[in-house]
Every structure is written in structure tokens, then in C-alpha cells.
Structure 1
Amino acid sequence: MKTYDFICIGGGSAGFNAARLAASYGKKVAVVDGAKQLGGLCILRGCMPSKTLIYAGEIMHHATHAARFGIKVGRVSADMKAMHVRKKRIIADFADYREQALKSGRFDLHQAYATFIDSHTIQLSNGEVLKGKHFLIGTGSKVSVPDIPGLKETKTWTSDEVLDLDFVPKSVIVLGGGIVATELAQFLNRIGSEVTLIQRSTHVLREHAADSAKVIEQAFRDEGIEVITDTKLTSISSGKGGVAVKFEQAGKSSIRRAAHLFNALGREPATDKLGLAAAGVKADDKGQIKINRWQQTSVPHIYAAGDCSGPVEIVHIAIAQAEVATRHAFRRKEAKPVDYSQLLHVVFTDPQLATIGLDEKKLKERGVKYLSASYPFNDHGKSILMEANYGYVRVFAEPKRGRILGAEIVGKDAGELIHCFSTPITMRATVRDMLRAPWYHPTLAEIITYPLEEIAEKLPRRKPAR
């Protein structure tokens, strides 16, 4: 039986980075991962393949609508086999790099699944038994299948199948309105599928502001996606012709039919086979592991990070959490909890939606006084000439000095533009600090200066220097 200072269960973003850091401290470390292909969700079935295909869909969309720029283009169609081959080639490079890092010899790699026997011992699916002084659980998440009549019995796609398509589906019903649902619904529409998106909440992307979600919904409808919100799904059935989804909306029963059904109703922690109870680790009824600010579970020497523990499913947060856990486990002085007040989100729809820091909902919930200002893309020079007229930039700042509290951008390249606020928020800078910096004209980034200027005008006047 082998004994380790630190055992990471899961070799994705959380587990790999925790193992890397622990090994740098000179600790004896193991990574346990039973997946057929190493690399983790982000590389293999999440961020990287989806963004590869989404960008290809964006290129196709621009080619299809080139006439508005005065450019003549012939018939545009998606070569899905070529798109699929390109995606596999790109992802293989990332996956190979991660696999080499996992097999570099800095720590032991056990390619098997783990189940806790007790709080210091795990049984592997290959028969081995390992003991650990500390553990990091980073097993990620899996697709959720809600209790909707007929859903479990119906053949559905998950994001895995959509990302592996090598043909253009005739028609698809997308269940859900979260990040995965919206990003891939637009991709499917842009490659030529007839898409219907059915969302249970009052608007898509329900974790975000209704104003920004409405912009996305309008853009989708303008592109030909049928967006149906505020529904109750009542039944799902399938037959030779495809699938049928029945739902209620505003007290009226409706039905939609399509060749394929894409279940994008969310994900849940992949913790059900870990034997958490045997280790004494507590989780909620959905399997999400309960943690404190140091990423410790109910058993202090067992930590958790990433999708399996939340509170958000974002790669850079999973890495930060894993590093916090590792530093805390080995009593490093630099250990500090993750600061969620600087939380950064990006949704890769077109227009993109991005936020950083505190949004209006959180500010109101916390009773924080603030000033806000916004400016629309359809009144900004660079976005107008780019035909990028959807959306706005909104900034939140405290009312005395103008310190930046948060920002919200929905519009062209919002995921890139939001990083203009990353350093200022981290440095606790003010709107006046940001306005002291040069902003080139004409650029998309220049639009940020307009809400900053509006807030600056609302701030108390500075006393003149003597």
C-alpha cells in the first residue's frame, strides 16, 4: 500500500494544478484519474472544443452576411467533417500537453477511479489501495437529467454529442437557457440547423441581469432562433420523425417538434461514486461538496475544488481554489481564500456577455451604495462601422471616490473588453484613475470611457490643491 502526502482525485484543472503546486513543495503526490482520455472537461469536452466551433460559426455568420459590408460572397455552407477534423487536431495538442505534464514524473499518476474506504484511504478501480495525509477532490461535473416525464427515456444529445457532430442537423430543440445552451444553440443555428430554445426561467442566462439577457434573446431572434422563455416542461416523447416537447407558457399548452433534442438543462457534481459518506465528507442533495473558505470539506484534511464544490463552474476559479487548498494543507504563509468580489464571467454568444466584480443585484442585496452609468454599442463609432450594434457597457462605482465595484458588458468582444476592468478592480482604482489612461480612437475599448465619464461627473468635486 502506497502512502502520499497529497492525493488529488481528478486530473482536470483543479487536480492537476493542486498536484503541480504540492510537488513544488517537495511533497509526495499522486493524481488519480480513471478517464479514458486525460485532460479534464475544459480541454476535452468544454471550453476549448466549444470555442473552436463557436468561432468557426462566427466566421460563417460573417461570410453569410458579407453583403452588408459591400462584399459579394457565393453560397456559404458548413463543411462539418472538415470543421470536426480541425477541432480534433487543436484539442489533441492541448490534451497531449496535459497528458505529458501528468506523466512527467513530478507525481505518481494512477489511471483508475477512486472510492473512499475511510477518511485517509481510497480503493482504486484497478484493485490498488492508497493512503493519503491530505486529499483534494476535483472530479468536476456531469450533465444533469431533471425529472421531466419522458426525458430519461428519450434519446437526447448532451454537449458532448453536439461538440462531436460531423453533419448539420436539420432541426434541434435545445432544452435550457444557460451558458452551454445559449452558446451551442447559436452555433447550431449558424451552421444551418433550425433551432428552438426552450427555457424554464423568465429569461435566458438567468444568473445574469435581465437587461443583458434580453439583448442576447433579441440577437438570437434576429438570427432566426425561436426563443421561448418562462415555461414549464410537461412531457417529452420520441418517434420515427424525431422528438416532441410539450410545455406550458402563460397558462397555454404548446408543443414543438424537431429531428433532435439537446439536453442543456445544466450540470451536477460528479461525486456520486466517490464514497463520500465513508470518508465523512458532507454534500448537499445534489452531490455538491460543502466547503469552507479554505476549500476544506467537513473533514479538515480533505479539500474540494472546481465544479464538484462550486460556487461557480469556471476554470480559473477551479485553479485558484485548488491552489488555496494546497497552500492551506501545507500551512504556507501565502495562503489566502479566493476573493469572489473580483469574479469574472464570460458567455461566448454573439454578442458576448461579460461581467466582473459586483453586479447590481449583489450590490442591492448587500446594501452597498453605488453609482452606475451605461452606454450603448449602437451609438459608438467603432461598433457602428463593424455592424456590432447590440448591447451596452455598464459600470458600477462607489459614490464618494468613484472606486470601481463592477462592470457589465454585453456586446461585440465583451469577453476581451471586460479585462480592461480586471487590473483597476484588483488595484481598487477609481473611475478617475481609469480616465487618466489613454484610450485610442476609434476602438471598441473606447466605449468604456463614456460611462466612466458620466460617473465621474456625479462624484463630489475635488478640493483644489494649494
Structure 2
Amino acid sequence: MKRYDDIIIGFGKGGKTLAGALAGSGRRVALIEQSAQMYGGTCINVACIPSKSLEHSARMSAAQGGSFADRAARYAQAIAKKRRLTAALRQKNLAKLQSAGVEVILGRAAFTGPQTLSVALPDGGIQQLQGGHIFINTGAQPNLPAIPGLKESRYTYTSQTLMELDALPAELVIIGGGYIGLEFASYYQNFGARVTVVQNTGDFMPREDAEVAAAVRQSLQDRGVQLLFGAQVQRVEDGPDAATVYLQQAGERRALSAQAVLVAVGRHPNTEGLGCERAGVALTDRGAVQVDEQLRTTAPGVWAMGDVAGGLQFTYISLDDSRIVKSQLLGDGGRTTQNRGAVPYSVFLDPPMARVGLTEQEAKDRGLSVQVARLPVAAIPKAQVLDQTTGLFKVVIEAASGRILGAHLFGAEAHELINIFKLAIDIGVPYTVLRDNIYTHPTMAEGIGDLLAAVR
């Protein structure tokens, strides 16, 4: 049985970052990954990086216009570009860990005891490992609902597999109106597909600020995305050249043709087959690894990081998880999930939407007296320069203190600007600091000054 100081299961952002840090401190470290196509983790292979590569290519394609054949050709080029990018990043990530002294083992790991693992190797062999510390970083995978014919259809895709489709579908039906579904709706509409989003509830972005959500909805509809709310998918049937998605909405039955059906109804943690029970690692009701604020599991010497730990499913959360664990092993142990500050996020639509902190309604529900600032993106000179004038910026401020409680940005460069508000919230400065800051011109950032000058 091979022995290591530390063993990481999964090549995700948190796992690879922690592995490099621990190996750099002189520890003997192994990292186990079950697929050579996932070196580097979910983000660079099947999520953030490839999807944002497609988002950029789609936006460029929309600007060029042309026939469906023209756009389909550019889509094929974008897929090829995406594959080159992910292949290069996989190799870079593998080389980086190996050069740091991490032993990367290709195989599927399962616990055999509290500190021991069995690894099924590609050649059929079994390797037994023991680790002083073990870190679970196995990520999550897309859900597939029990809709008759959906799983069996050759036209069914997840957010991971759709990006491997070589030919642009003329018609794309997306089951699920959450963030992932809306992002893909935006990409493929820009590429030239006819996109329909089917959402089983009547709400659109229910967790977002109502005004901003309304602006996003209007923008998607103006671009041609069809949004069907309160629609229940009944079944999916394959034909010779397309699938038919049968649904019911407001008592009316409908049938939608699609060369591709994207299922985007959430993700679930990858714990199946991991043998957590043999290590004394408890799972939550949702199947995630149960952790405390320091990401320790119920088994001594075992931690969990990233999506598998049941928190927010962002790669930068996985990165911060590695800092929390590293703080315990190599630092003062002070960093926890409770003190990492406000967490921003972005939805990469065209234009993007980004948020950090409370909505106006959430603040009022907490009994806070608030002031609000709004600014149409069209009022920002740089937006006019970019010819990207769609959108609305909104900030929520505590009236008594002037502290920023939340920022909700829908417009050009929102995904960049939101980080400024995250920092302002974390350090607790009054909104006037950002209002009176000196910004370069012409930039989208200077819109922050104009936005906060409109506080009422």
C-alpha cells in the first residue's frame, strides 16, 4: 500500500490548487483523477472556459451576421477553437502539478476505510493508497429529469455534451430556465439557432432584483429567444432528423421540433461510488458531502471542497475552499466559509448580468431602510462607443450608514464591474467613496460614479 501525506480526489480548482501548495511545502502528495479529459477540472474542460469561449465567438458571429450556413460554419470553427483551448489547458494543468512534485494517478477512487482508498486503474488493476489527509474534490454533474423519452433520445444533451456538437442545430429547445439554460440560450441564439426555453414554473430569475430580471427577460425576447413559462414537458420522441418535445402550458398542448434538446435543470454532487460510508463521511439530504465551516467532514482527516461540498457552484468558490483548507494545514486556521465576504456572480448573457449582495426587496424584508440608484446603460458614454447600450445598473444602499448592500448590473462589462462592488461591500466603505472616485475615461467603470450620483 502506497502512503502519502495528502491525497486529493479530483482535479478541480480547489484540489489542484491545494495539491500544488502542499507539495510545495515538502509533503508527499497524490492527486487522483478518473478521466484524462478532466485534467484541470470541470471549469477548464466542460464549463466556464469552453462555454465562455463559445459566448465570445457567438457574439462575434452575431455582429458579422450572414445566412444560417455562414453562422453554422463559424459555429464549427468556434467548436474547434474551444477544443484547442481546453486541450492546451489540460496539458498545462497536468504539467504544472507534475513539476510541483504531485503524483497524478489516473483512475477511479473509492474509500475502503477512514484513511484508505482503492483506485481502479485504466488497465484493470487496483492500487491501494493511504493518506494522512484526504480531500474530496469530485465536483458535480448535470441532472437528468425522469421525462419519458428524454434519456433515450439521441438529440438530448447536457451543458457539457452540447459543446461537443459539431453542427449548429437550427432549432434548440432548452429544458430549464435557470442561469445555465439562459446562458446557452444567449450563445446559440447569437450563433443563429432558433431557441426556445421551457420553464416549468411561472417565474423568471426569481432570485434576482425584479427590475433587472425584467430587463434581462426583455432583452432575450427582443433578440428572438422564445420563453415559455409554466410549461410542463410531457415526453420527447425522436424522428429521423429531429426530436419532438411535447409539453403542456396553461392547459394547451404544444409540440416543439428540435435538432438538439438541452437539459439544464441543475447539477448534483459526484459522490456515487465514492464509498463515503466506509470512511465515516456523512452526506446531506441532497447528496453533498457534509462539512463544517472549515470544510471538515464527519471523518477525522477528511475534507471536501468545491461543488461536492454542497455550496455555491462556482470555480472561484472551489479556489477559496482550497485557501480555507490550506489555512488549517499551513497557516493560522483563521479562514472559514463564514468570513470570505460577499460572493459575486455573473451570468454570461449578451450583455452579461452580475450581482453581489442583497436585492432591494431582500433588504426591505430584513427591515432595512434603503436608498436606490438606477442608471440605464445607454447613459454611459463607453456603452455608446461599444454600441452596447442594452441594460440597467442598480445599487441598493443602507440609508442610515451609506453602506452598499447590493449591486445588480445588467450591461456591458458587468462581469468585470461587479468585483469593484464586492470589494466595497467587504470593506464597508460608504457609497460616496465609489461615487467620488476618479475613473479613467471613456470606460464602463466611470458609469459607477454616475450611477451612485443618482442615489435617491
Which of the numbers 113, 116, 141 marks the counterpart of 2:111? 116
| Alpha-carbon displacement from aligned partner over 1:414-448 (angstroms, at most 9, x marks no partner) | 11221232332232211111123113444322222
Higher mean displacement: 397-406 or 113-122: 397-406
1:430 matched residue in structure 2: 430
Unpaired stretches in structure 1, ≥5 consecutive residues: 66-72, 459-466
2:57 matched residue in structure 1: 56
Alignment size in residue pairs: 448
Higher mean displacement: 235-244 or 297-306: 235-244
Question: Is 1:77 matched with 2:77?
Answer: no
Question: Is 1:13 matched with 2:7?
Answer: no
Instruction: Give the secondary-structure state (helix, strand or coil) at the position aligned to 2:446.
Output: helix
TM-score (norm 2): 0.91
TM-score (norm 1): 0.89
Instruction: Give the secondary-structure state (helix, strand or coil) at the position aligned to 2:321.
Output: helix
Higher mean displacement: 188-197 or 354-363: 354-363
Task: Map residues 49-448 of structure 1 onto 2, 5 A cutoff.
Answer: 49-64=50-65, 77-79=71-73, 80-126=75-121, 127-155=126-154, 156-328=156-328, 330=329, 332-333=331-332, 335-338=334-337, 339=339, 341-360=341-360, 362-364=362-364, 366-384=366-384, 386-448=386-448
Q: By how many angstroms is 1:365 displaced?
A: 5.2
Conserved 8 A contact 2:377-2:411: yes
Runs of 4 or more above 6 Å deviation: none
Instruction: Give the secondary-structure state (helix, strand or coil) at the position aligned to 2:31.
Output: strand
Unpaired stretches in structure 2, ≥5 consecutive residues: none
Whichever residue aligns with residue 332 of structure 1, its letter is G
Q: By how many angstroms is 1:87 displaced?
A: 1.9
| Distance in 2 separating the partners of 1:259 and 1:331 | 52
Conserved 8 A contact 1:60-1:78: no
Q: By how many angstroms is 1:2 displaced?
A: 1.8
Percent sequence identity is 29
Higher mean displacement: 389-398 or 8-17: 389-398
Whichever residue aligns with residue 326 of structure 2, its letter is T
Q: By how many angstroms is 1:123 displaced?
A: 0.8
| Distance in 2 separating the partners of 1:209 and 1:244 | 35
Conserved 8 A contact 2:295-2:303: yes
Instruction: Give the secondary-structure state (helix, strand or coil) at the position aligned to 2:157.
Output: coil
Conserved 8 A contact 1:197-1:227: yes
| Distance in 1 separating the partners of 2:430 and 2:95 | 44
| Distance in 2 separating the partners of 1:36 and 1:234 | 37
Whichever residue aligns with residue 144 of structure 1, its letter is N
Distance 1:154-1:167 versus aligned 2 partners, 3 A rule = closer
| Distance in 1 separating the partners of 2:244 and 2:419 | 42
Q: By how many angstroms is 1:313 displaced?
A: 0.8
Taking only aligned residues, the RMSD between alpha carbons, in angstroms, comes to 2.4
| Alpha-carbon displacement from aligned partner over 1:240-290 (angstroms, at most 9, x marks no partner) | 242222223234333322222111222111111111111121223432112
Conserved 8 A contact 1:12-1:41: yes
Distance 1:121-1:177 versus aligned 2 partners, 3 A rule = same
Whichever residue aligns with residue 152 of structure 2, its letter is E
| Alpha-carbon displacement from aligned partner over 1:38-64 (angstroms, at most 9, x marks no partner) | 121111111111111110110111222
Whichever residue aligns with residue 110 of structure 1, its letter is I
Instruction: Give the secondary-structure state (helix, strand or coil) at the position aligned to 1:312.
Output: coil
Instruction: Give the secondary-structure state (helix, strand or coil) at the position aligned to 2:307.
Output: helix
| Distance in 2 separating the partners of 1:63 and 1:97 | 33
Whichever residue aligns with residue 114 of structure 2, its letter is S
